[in-house]
């Protein structure tokens, strides 16, 4: 049993594992900086073959009952459970995540597919609904129909789990899929092909094509044979996807970047606030779209809160996954390390006040380790305050009243998530109603159960994943109006 058992250096097209002569792209262990394996880049022709397979599989797959599709989905989660330890090991090896976080990704993937298997069963009863109106001689029914073959383009920060958020509702709805994993973390997402194979899914229902964005991702997003591209990644790439989809008016789902605020009021429990702020920005080494990276704190409690945050930050133990006492791993890639350390350099150029961290982590011979950092008194115009850093970097500004806190929190192009820490329930409700973000957390950490919605306002995206909204994202509504 080992992480290497999860390495499949092939693409999965029409029920076959195919090598092809595409470029071999190395996947890197972010601790050793050594390759742990390779994926084979799918060409435009390979993508075309995968899309054709998804089209051929669509009619029979969508004709199954929701119950039949749910049975296949549960067989897939049984297959994942059977390889759970290997998948966790791979998530640690390829992403540098602590074991607990790596395991949460895989368990979360299983729970998500199981949740949507239940929704698939319910869909049988919901497929056709009479419309309630009174026009003499008319009656109407709405039908929910699967959108068709769809493509997924995935990021590297939560491989497997973010795919589950798309795959669960797509399969439940009756869609067939082509998955493009991130080239940084190909293996656990390629495993969806293995899970499909072990579960006996008909060929073509799930296809996996690896490769870089500009080659394989572009071929997928431009392919006229898909009805939707569901994308999770940066806002910059989301704009490319949107333009490519416009060509043949494909549906799109965009889960993009964030710069999420956490608002700490004067009546807050400061121990709780410090814990939520640091957990929220240090989980997965800060590589979370919903990282609580903009800390807005009432001026009267700034210094005691900063002290508590500094103590928690300095208690973080950086290390390789499973090394003694480690609580935070490295960043997932060299590119991300360069980006985060680049922002540390910008902070120095901007003359920001760094209260802890602020640099590369000393004492490692290799690996993309950075210190968890707190900057205070950050100007509103600072690049660190406005741009998504995607690392363990917390920036703090103060406010003097509730109105100012809300205005500052909303003063961003993003709108993915926001957190509120206050002991005043009426204030929490009032502020939550006015924050422009898709998921608001009050006095709790940033969990995302599959029953809730996920997605952003403004440039954080278009559409919602998870819950009934996630399922609706893969269904077309058809109304049939007849004489009656």
Binding residue count for ligand NAD, defined by CB under 6 A:
32
Please indicate whether residue 350 is annotated as part of the active site: no
For ligand NAD, which residue of 207, 221, 356, 371 counts as binding (CB under 6 A)?
221
For ligand NAD, which residue of 61, 240, 368, 441 counts as binding (CB under 6 A)?
240
**Is 166 or 397 the residue whose CB approaches ligand NAD more closely?**
166
3-state SS assignment for residue 166: helix
How far apart are the C-alpha atoms of 351 and 371, rounded to whole Å?
18
Whether 452 and 467 have beta carbons less than 8 Å apart is answered as: yes
Q: How many CA atoms lie within 13 A of 131 on its CB side?
A: 17
Angle, helices 187-199/84-95, rounded to nearest 10 degrees: 160
For ligand NAD, which residue of 43, 91, 232, 373 counts as binding (CB under 6 A)?
232
Alpha helix ranges (H) inside 213-315:
218-222, 235-246, 270-282, 302-314
Number of Cβ atoms within 10 Å of the Cβ of 448: 18
Please indicate whether residue 255 is annotated as part of the active site: yes
How far apart are the C-alpha atoms of 171 and 213, rounded to whole Å?
24
Determine, following the binding rule CB under 6 A, whether residue 189 of this chain makes contact with ligand NAD.
no
How far apart are the C-alpha atoms of 210 and 7, rounded to whole Å?
13
Give the shortest CB-134-to-ligand NAD separation in angstroms: 43
Q: Is 21 exposed, middle or buried, given 0-12, 13-18 or 19+ CB atoms closer than 10 A?
A: exposed
Determine, following the binding rule CB under 6 A, whether residue 192 of this chain makes contact with ligand NAD.
no
429: tokens are 């409700």
One of 289, 293, 402, 465 is an active-site residue; which one? 289
Determine, following the binding rule CB under 6 A, whether residue 214 of this chain makes contact with ligand NAD.
yes
Site string for ligand NAD, 130-169 (x = CB under 6 A): -----------------------xxxxx----x-------
The whole-angstrom distance between residue 374's C-alpha and the CA centroid of its chain comes to 25
Give the shortest CB-205-to-ligand NAD separation in angstroms: 21
403: tokens are 């109105």
| Interacting span for ligand NAD (CB under 6 A) from 16-24, 59-67, 227-235, 472-480 | 227-235
For ligand NAD, which residue of 11, 43, 62, 182 counts as binding (CB under 6 A)?
182
Determine, following the binding rule CB under 6 A, whether residue 105 of this chain makes contact with ligand NAD.
no
| Interacting span for ligand NAD (CB under 6 A) from 231-239, 245-253, 346-354, 360-368 | 231-239
Give the phi and the psi of residue 35 in degrees, each rounded to 5: -70, 135
Residues at the contact surface with ligand NAD, assessed by CB under 6 A: 153-157, 162, 180, 182-183, 212-214, 217-218, 221, 232-234, 237, 240-241, 255-258, 289, 388, 390, 416, 454, 456, 461
């Amino acid at each position: 049993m080992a992480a290497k058992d999860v390495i499949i250096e092939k693409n999965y097209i029409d029920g076959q594992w195919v090598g092809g002569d595409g470029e071999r792209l190395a996947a890197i262990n972010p601790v050793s900086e050594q390759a742990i394996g390779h994926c084979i880049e799918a060409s435009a022709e390979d993508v075309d073959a995968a899309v054709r397979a998804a089209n051929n599989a669509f009619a029979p797959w969508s004709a199954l009952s929701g119950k039949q599709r749910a049975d296949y989905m549960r067989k897939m989660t049984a297959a994942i459970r059977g390889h759970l330890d290997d998948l966790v090991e791979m998530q640690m090896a390829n992403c540098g995540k602590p074991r607990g976080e790596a395991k949460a990704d895989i368990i979360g993937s299983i729970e998500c597919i199981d949740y949507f298997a239940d929704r698939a069963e319910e869909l049988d009863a919901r497929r056709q609904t009479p419309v309630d109106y009174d026009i003499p001689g008319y009656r109407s029914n709405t039908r929910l129909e699967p959108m068709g073959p769809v493509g997924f383009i995935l990021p590297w920060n939560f491989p497997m789990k973010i795919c589950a958020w798309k795959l669960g509702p797509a399969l439940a709805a009756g869609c067939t899929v082509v998955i493009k994993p991130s080239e940084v973390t190909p293996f656990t997402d390629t495993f969806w092909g293995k899970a499909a194979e072990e579960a006996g899914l008909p060929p073509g229902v799930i296809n996996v094509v690896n490769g870089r964005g500009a080659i394989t991702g572009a071929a997928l997003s431009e392919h006229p044979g898909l009805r939707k591209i569901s994308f999770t990644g940066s806002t910059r790439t989301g704009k490319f996807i949107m333009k490519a989809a416009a060509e043949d008016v494909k549906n799109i789902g965009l889960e993009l970047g964030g710069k999420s605020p956490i608002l700490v009021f004067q009546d807050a429990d400061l121990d709780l606030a410090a814990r939520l702020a640091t957990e929220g920005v240090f989980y997965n080494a800060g590589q979370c779209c919903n990282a609580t990276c903009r800390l807005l704190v009432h001026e009267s409690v700034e210094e005691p809160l900063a002290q508590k945050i500094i103590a928690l930050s300095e208690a973080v133990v950086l290390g390789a996954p499973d090394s003694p006492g480690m609580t935070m791993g490295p960043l997932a890639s060299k590119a991300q390390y360069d980006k985060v350390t680049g922002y540390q350099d910008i902070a120095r150029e901007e003359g920001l006040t760094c209260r802890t961290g602020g640099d590369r982590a000393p004492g490692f011979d290799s690996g993309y380790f950075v210190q968890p950092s707190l900057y205070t008194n950050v100007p509103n115009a600072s690049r660190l305050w406005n741009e998504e850093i995607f690392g363990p970097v917390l920036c703090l500004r103060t406010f003097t009243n509730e109105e100012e806190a809300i205005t500052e929190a909303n003063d961003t192009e993003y709108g993915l998530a926001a957190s509120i820490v206050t002991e005043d329930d009426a204030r929490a409700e009032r502020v939550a109603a006015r924050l422009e973000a898709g998921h608001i957390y009050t006095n709790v950490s940033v969990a995302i159960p599959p029953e809730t919605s996920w997605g952003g306002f403004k440039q954080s995206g278009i559409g919602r994943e998870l819950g009934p909204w996630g399922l609706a994202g893969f269904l077309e509504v058809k109304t049939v109006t007849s004489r009656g």
